[in-house]
């Protein structure tokens, strides 16, 4: 991998797919110059740690939980919102770890997910046509000419909002909030009047007894007081990601310091395109979204371009097939990559392929479709003898009503109550925790072949 990073001019010459249209190039250049002088948001060593953890996932020795907002907004950068998202992810992770008996690598769609690709450049309401909302990184949600203008100064706000978010996340995960001994408090005013709550509380009781036994036996409990938590987002805005790329002082290699892991979306994964070219030069772990039209040749071409040296943990394929397609479309991809000898992380995104419009006009997803795609994902890997490495979900720590179904059987008529997303519908905290139990059951039901981490402690013969 070359330490050379293409210039923005070189990248733009390859084609600017899904990029903002700024009116004043001089204003954009000034913002980018300021961004290049700012400190990194994450460190190269942290990116390396995540890549090493993902290498364990690829080998079947760990599982990836990746989740967070579809699109973060500036006004949601508050202590309560960050805490809520972190709480639901930690709760999901502990369910998967304990009930599934597998280490969980925790990665948030957080601290950088401020831009979204759109299928149309414009939006028309009552005869008025304005630019589409592309996330707070580009323009505002309000349907006015002023708000919908593509404003380069918003890139500076992305940096500031990401810095505030990541600073608070670090404080939470290392400052006691993630301590396993506080596991019951994560569920305080979390879920109510559902079997999800009782299952979680029963599991928390089991964990507390296990912790008490460990401490009684003299096991050092310092590792129980914090967790490693990493940030990720789609590397959509070339100007921002390029400005945040730095040369690591240790290795003299480039890292995108806007997040620990970045991914390429279904709309921007052109093999000869600017996004693939930029990410081929950085050392971060890379995610690649693959939809139902993806072919094994597509996947192999991207893997060869982005990871020619076959670095363990470098590539994660995030598949988004849809519940109706996963059992047919996923096997050829897995077979093709496995036949090449590559060890990649296979991740299921059960959200993006299962979106539909409700009768009342709300964009939504059915929890049952999400579960069905996940079950299909596990079934395919069971049949092929490969490791289902992780799950990638859009979720929130709030009691929103954006996806139908789940423990409380939300219906389409419930969507009007708390539909708060600016883009895609998210699982609420009840549905997220319910999903974690479902994943834990699939990991522990004996159908998936994987190394048993307990075996090394068994049958010691003196």
Share of the chain above pLDDT 70, in %: 92
Is pLDDT at 342 greater than 50 in this prediction? yes
Grade residue 180 by pLDDT with cuts at 50, 70 and 90: confident
Per-residue model confidence (pLDDT) at position 43: 96
Determine the straight-line distance between the first and last CA of the chain, rounded to whole angstroms: 50
Is pLDDT at 240 greater than 90 in this prediction? yes
pLDDT in tens, 50-70: 999 999 999 999 999 999 998
Per-residue model confidence (pLDDT) at position 1: 44
Q: Are 84 and 108 in contact (CB under 8 A)?
A: no
Q: Which residues pair with 232 in a beta bridge?
A: 109, 261
What are the structure tokens assigned to 152, written together?
């380069």
What's the mean per-residue pLDDT of the chain?
A: 90
Token pair 């470098």 is found at: 314
CA 399 to chain centre: 20
Per-residue model confidence (pLDDT) at position 175: 82
Is pLDDT at 302 greater than 80 in this prediction? yes
pLDDT higher at 397 or 376: 376
Per-residue model confidence (pLDDT) at position 409: 82
CA within 13 Å, CB half, 148: 14
- The runs of H, that is alpha helices, within 218-366 are 238-243, 274-279, 296-306, 326-339
**Ordered DSSP codes for 17-37:** TT----S-HHHHHHHHHHHHH
Task: State the Cα–Cα distance between residues 357 and 386, nearest whole angstrom.
Answer: 34
Task: State the Cα–Cα distance between residues 132 and 96, nearest whole angstrom.
Answer: 38
Q: Identify each DSSP E strand in 61-145 by its residue range.
A: 63-68, 104-109, 122-125, 128-131
The dihedrals phi and psi of 263, each to the nearest 5 degrees, come to -130, 160
Grade residue 224 by pLDDT with cuts at 50, 70 and 90: low
Return the ∠ at Cα 154 (arms to 153 and 158), rounded to 5°: 125
Indicate the Cα dihedral angle 152, 156, 161, 166, nearest 10°.
130
Is pLDDT at 460 greater than 70 in this prediction? no
The predicted model scores a pTM of: 0.92
Q: Which residues pair with 439 in a beta bridge?
A: none
Q: Cβ contacts of residue 29 below 8 Å, gap of 6+?
A: none
Per-residue model confidence (pLDDT) at position 461: 57
């Amino acid at each position: 991998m070359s330490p050379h990073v293409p210039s923005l001019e070189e990248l733009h010459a390859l084609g600017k797919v899904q990029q903002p249209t700024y009116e004043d190039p001089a204003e954009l250049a000034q913002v980018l110059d300021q961004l290049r002088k700012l400190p990194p948001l994450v460190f190269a060593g942290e990116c390396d740690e995540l890549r090493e953890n993902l290498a364990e996932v690829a080998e079947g020795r760990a599982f990836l939980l990746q989740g967070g907002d579809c699109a973060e907004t500036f006004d949601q950068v508050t202590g309560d919102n960050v805490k809520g998202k972190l709480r639901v992810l930690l709760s999901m992770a502990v369910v998967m770890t304990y009930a599934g008996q597998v280490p969980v690598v925790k990665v948030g769609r957080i601290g950088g997910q401020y831009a979204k690709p759109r299928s149309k450049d414009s939006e028309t309401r009552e005869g008025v046509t304005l630019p589409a909302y592309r996330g707070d990184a580009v323009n505002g949600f309000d349907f006015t000419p002023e708000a919908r203008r593509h404003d380069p100064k918003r890139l500076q706000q992305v940096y500031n909002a990401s810095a505030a978010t990541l600073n608070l996340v670090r404080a939470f995960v290392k400052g006691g909030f993630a301590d396993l001994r506080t596991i019951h408090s994560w569920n305080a005013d979390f879920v109510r009047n559902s079997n999800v709550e009782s299952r979680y509380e029963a599991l928390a009781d089991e964990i507390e007894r296990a912790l008490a036994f460990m401490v009684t036996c003299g096991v050092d409990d310092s590792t129980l007081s914090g967790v490693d938590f990493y940030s990720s987002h789609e590397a959509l805005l070339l100007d921002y990601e390029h400005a945040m790329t730095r040369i690591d002082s240790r290795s003299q290699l480039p890292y995108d310091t806007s997040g620990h892991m970045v991914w390429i979306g279904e709309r921007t994964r052109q093999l000869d395109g600017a996004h693939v070219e930029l990410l081929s030069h950085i050392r971060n772990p890379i995610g690649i979204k693959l939809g139902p039209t993806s072919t094994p040749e597509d996947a192999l071409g991207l893997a060869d371009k982005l990871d020619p040296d076959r670095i363990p943990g470098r590539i994660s394929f995030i598949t988004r097939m849809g519940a109706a397609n996963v059992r047919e479309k996923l096997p050829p991809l897995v077979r093709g990559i496995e036949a090449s000898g590559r060890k990649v992380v296979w991740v299921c995104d059960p959200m993006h392929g299962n979106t539909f419009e409700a009768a009342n006009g709300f964009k939504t997803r059915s929890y049952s479709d999400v579960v069905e795609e996940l079950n299909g994902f596990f079934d395919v890997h069971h049949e092929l003898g490969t490791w289902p490495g992780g799950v990638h979900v859009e979720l929130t720590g709030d009691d929103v009503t954006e996806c139908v179904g789940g423990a409380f059987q939300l219906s389409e008529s419930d969507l009007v109550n708390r539909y708060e997303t600016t883009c895609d519908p998210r699982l609420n905290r009840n549905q997220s925790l319910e999903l974690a139990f479902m994943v834990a059951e699939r990991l522990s039901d004996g159908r998936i072949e994987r190394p048993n981490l307990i075996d090394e402690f068994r049958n010691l013969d003196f």
